[in-house]
């Protein structure tokens, strides 16, 4: 595995986009639930910005998932 591949994998800190898709929810909906701008949620989903741990806990509660399911474990196969 190349260093470039590892770098791309480690950049994916959160799994928010994946979990939203699994729950059949959109970023706009999540933004409304959190009182956040849709653009903010979009940046979280694309991993260009990260929500705080407190915000991740709120997101997990809203989506009814374990907080750990929102975080990339860092295991690269």
Could you read off the pLDDT of 8-38 as tens digits, one per residue? 544 679 999 999 999 999 999 999 999 999 9
61 lies in a domain?
Answer: yes
72 lies in a domain?
Answer: no
CATH number assigned to the domain comprising residue 44: 1.10.260.40
63 lies in a domain?
Answer: yes
Percent of the chain that is helix, strand, coil (3-state, to 5): 60, 5, 35
Is residue 59 within 8 A of residue 71, CB to CB? The reply is: no
Q: Count CB neighbours of 46 within 10 A.
A: 13
The mean per-residue pLDDT over the stretch 55-62 comes to 98
Count: domains in the chain: 1
73 lies in a domain?
Answer: no
Print the domain residue range for 12: 3-67
What is the sign of the dihedral through the CA atoms of 24, 29, 34 and 36?
A: positive
For residue 6, what pLDDT band results from cuts at 50, 70 and 90? very low
74 lies in a domain?
Answer: no
19 lies in a domain?
Answer: yes
How buried is 13 (Cβ within 10 angstroms: 0-12 exposed, 13-18 middle, 19+ buried)? middle
47 lies in a domain?
Answer: yes
Q: For the whole model, what pTM was predicted? A: 0.80
User: What percent of the chain has pLDDT above 70?
Assistant: 81
């Amino acid at each position: 595995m190349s260093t470039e591949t590892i770098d791309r994998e480690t950049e994916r800190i959160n799994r928010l986009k994946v979990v939203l898709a699994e729950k059949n929810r959109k970023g706009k909906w999540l933004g409304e639930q959190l009182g956040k701008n849709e653009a903010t949620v979009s940046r979280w989903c694309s991993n260009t910005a990260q929500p705080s741990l407190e915000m991740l806990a709120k997101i997990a509660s809203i989506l009814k998932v374990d907080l750990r399911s929102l975080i990339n474990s860092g295991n690269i196969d």
